[in-house]
Structure 1
Amino acid sequence: MQPFPWSTTNVADLPSVGTPIDTLTDHSRLPGGPGARLVAVRTEAAAFKGEFAATGTPDSIRTCDLVTLPYPTRFGLFRASRALAPFLSITNRMLVIRWHESDGRARVLLFEPSDVELGQYTPYFDRLAQRTPDIIARRMVRRHATVLDHLAGLGVTPQEVDYLMFDHLHTQDLRRWVGTKAYQEDLDGQPEAAFPNAKVIVQRDELVGMAELHPLQRPWYQPASYRDVPAEAFLPIEGSVILGPGIAVVKTPGHVFGNQSLVLNTATGVWVSSENVIAAECLAPEHSKLPGVAKWSREWEFEAVLNANTIETTADQYNSVILERSLTDPSQQDPRFPQFFPSSELTGAWTNPGTKPTFSHRAITHTR
């Protein structure tokens, strides 16, 4: 049975969204080697950043904690960490962004609205849970509040949500968010869309890649959960687009082929959010106090420490991280660190010695 409701041919027929950004190229397709592409990335980032501020700012941005969970240190901090703990903790958060179009229409975007309950069945995390005693799991996993609970607290109805977006679709099960076309045995029914008016913004490259997963990708996707998801729930984009005032989606390939980052213009300057790295200090490793990180980056002359659970195209991911860093403004809390907001941010825990972050953002809060 076809595991996805699309193929490489019908993806091209799905409608898209946003205004293309001519300044930014999909650097993975630029001529030359990865070093030449890195030079181009820096130049294009400077040009786009100069243009981006002129698009305005969104009406508001709110941050919502969803879940704190264990994650292998060797993935989150690549080869840099000298911590004793085999696992660190990350907190997955959702951003709720609101704005008005030029014609006055109100818009709501949910960035990283993970269905935590269903996400736990991602093959890698499911196998990890089966090997972890319950008493340890209860200490290491903390669920904060659900997507719908957070929205209720913010006074946002599900019907008001226009867009759902993830930096990539690892771990995501969207059936309860966008509905299905058939009965779902594991959910004891056919779920109606919790967000009946929302579309999922995703890179076409990721949809094409998901149609036939490579072994490097399989531990991180839930292909069976997409079998009965309607194809029309997706709004695929190609490359980078302006979505609204002070809101851009920038293609950042590498972590997955169709990775994308959210770029936001706020009262404190430009922020970027994705899961390409798990801490702001991973973009300024020379200032990190995490054991081994500063020394490792200095010895290897690396400007960043990647989140490397996948190694689909590592050089492209590195170049994407430099693009992200080049777009951000310095933090007003500590200008040594950029306004990069990891969608899953490193979180200190007593169970994980040597993994307490030097600096954390914890939230983006903006009101115009």
Structure 2
Amino acid sequence: MTLLNAPPTFNWTPATLTDLPTVGEPIRSLDRDVEGGPGARLRAAREAGLRFRSEFATSGVPASVVTCDLVTLPYPTRFGLFRATKALAPFLSITNRMLVIRWNDSDGRPRVLLFEPSDVELGRKTPYFAELLRRTPKPVAEMVTTIHGTVLGHLTRLGIRPEEVDYILFDHLHTQDLRRWIGTTAFQDDLGKHTEAIFPNAKVIVQRDELLGMANLHPLQTPWYQPAAYRDVPLEAFLPIDGSVLLGPGVAIIKTPGHVFGNQSLVLNTSTGIWVSSENVIAAECLTPEHSRLPGLASWSRSWQQEVILNANTIETTADQYNSIILEKTIADRAQADPRFLQFFPSSELTPLWTNPGTSPTFRHFAITHSA
């Protein structure tokens, strides 16, 4: 794993991205350009979240939301629970999940969105995880990693053909290799073939900031991205957006910078109220740490007067990530199963494992399930 700044591996520039189409209806209530420092931006985030909550609740609901487990894997405790944890275990476990969202546009056209459809096999080539695997004995790696299913296997079970997928969305592109999903323009040595798109009609919705940042990574970013995997993907497969957009009835993407510069979160209006999903935190209790039984979280939150616990494997702009989590916290409804916690669904959710003492979550969502 190199920590040096890698040279650009593809020619994405503001000019080339400007020529691409975009998608969605801009959400003006979430515009947060304010004068002043991070404290002023924090206050603006709370105010914007309250405005957006009331209007989004009237936007309708999608036809269905289904949750699909992909993989449970180890993750450094000091990253996932930032400085708050007192757990002795160096690693905790997180479960990556895909959401499949369906709705009909105003003209009746059916839409399918895949949120976090990670190619788990190719994701292992991420520099950080590749180095971790190299240093971990295979029996140990197999013991702490569980494959629950594949993207294509879940879609087959749901009766969704690959060509029916309209949109692919990630909160950010850490670890993601999209070559099999959107195809390549040249032969791929490591795959041994020229890859045709498995999802031929799908477009990847991504913040323009992140696409530009990936073309010239900072050393803080290099362990977590696979820039070479984007060298030969077709640029026209991307739909860059600038900020927050309403994508369909009860389906929105909001810009939540901080974890990465171009971070974004999925917001859903469902039969149980409003949900927010991202990897800004790894457990619902990280938004209300005063109710957490995880060692250290409640006391750290009180001592430092910080009301959220960041997922901090990258701290590109930590204050902005904090503010983005407050925005998410302001928007999400209370959980019906336990109102102490919010309907925040971590795209990678903290999962108990006997090898990781002190990291068993107080509360888990497991899934978002909705049918109109």
| TM score, norm. by length of structure 1 | 0.98
1:317-340 superposed Cα distances (whole Å, 9 cap, x missing partner):
000000000000000000000000
* CA deviation after TM superposition for structure 1 residue 76, in Å: 0.1
Q: CA separation in 2, counterparts of 1:323 and 1:121?
A: 32
Return the match for 1:125 from 124, 129, 132: 129
- Which runs of 5 or more structure 2 residues have no equivalent in the other structure? 1-6
**Does structure 1 residue 234 correspond to structure 2 residue 238?**
yes
**Does structure 1 residue 83 correspond to structure 2 residue 83?**
no
Q: CA separation in 1, counterparts of 2:56 and 2:38?
A: 26
Return the match for 1:289 from 285, 290, 293: 293
1:141-187 superposed Cα distances (whole Å, 9 cap, x missing partner):
11111100000001111010000000000000000000000000000
Return the match for 1:22 from 15, 21, 28: 28
Paired position in structure 1 for 2:343: 339
Contact 1:199 1:235 in 2 (8 A): yes
Paired position in structure 1 for 2:264: 260
Paired position in structure 2 for 1:98: 102
**Does structure 1 residue 219 correspond to structure 2 residue 208?**
no
- Which runs of 5 or more structure 1 residues have no equivalent in the other structure? none
**Does structure 1 residue 10 correspond to structure 2 residue 21?**
no
Q: CA separation in 1, counterparts of 2:129 and 2:21?
A: 33
Paired position in structure 2 for 1:140: 144
Paired position in structure 1 for 2:48: 44
Q: CA separation in 1, counterparts of 2:43 and 2:226?
A: 36
AA in 1 matched with 2:98 = M
Contact 2:274 2:331 in 1 (8 A): yes
Paired position in structure 2 for 1:350: 354
Secondary structure of 2:10 counterpart: coil
1:279-338 superposed Cα distances (whole Å, 9 cap, x missing partner):
000000000000011000010001100000001000000000000000000000000000
* CA deviation after TM superposition for structure 1 residue 259, in Å: 0.2
1:24-83 superposed Cα distances (whole Å, 9 cap, x missing partner):
02x4x4321100111111111101100001110000000000000000000000000000
* CA deviation after TM superposition for structure 1 residue 5, in Å: 4.8
1:214-273 superposed Cα distances (whole Å, 9 cap, x missing partner):
100100000110000000010000000000000000000000000000000000000000
Q: CA separation in 1, counterparts of 2:264 and 2:12?
A: 20
* CA deviation after TM superposition for structure 1 residue 2, in Å: 5.2
The share of aligned pairs that are identical, in percent, is: 70
Return the match for 1:107 from 105, 111, 114: 111
| TM score, norm. by length of structure 2 | 0.97
Q: CA separation in 2, counterparts of 1:12 and 1:258?
A: 16
Contact 2:8 2:216 in 1 (8 A): no
**Does structure 1 residue 199 correspond to structure 2 residue 203?**
yes
Contact 2:8 2:217 in 1 (8 A): no
Paired position in structure 2 for 1:116: 120
1:154-173 mapped onto 2 (5 Å cutoff): 154-173=158-177
Contact 1:5 1:226 in 2 (8 A): no
Q: CA separation in 2, counterparts of 1:4 and 1:102?
A: 37
Q: CA separation in 2, counterparts of 1:294 and 1:258?
A: 30
Aligned length: 366
Q: CA separation in 2, counterparts of 1:259 and 1:228?
A: 23
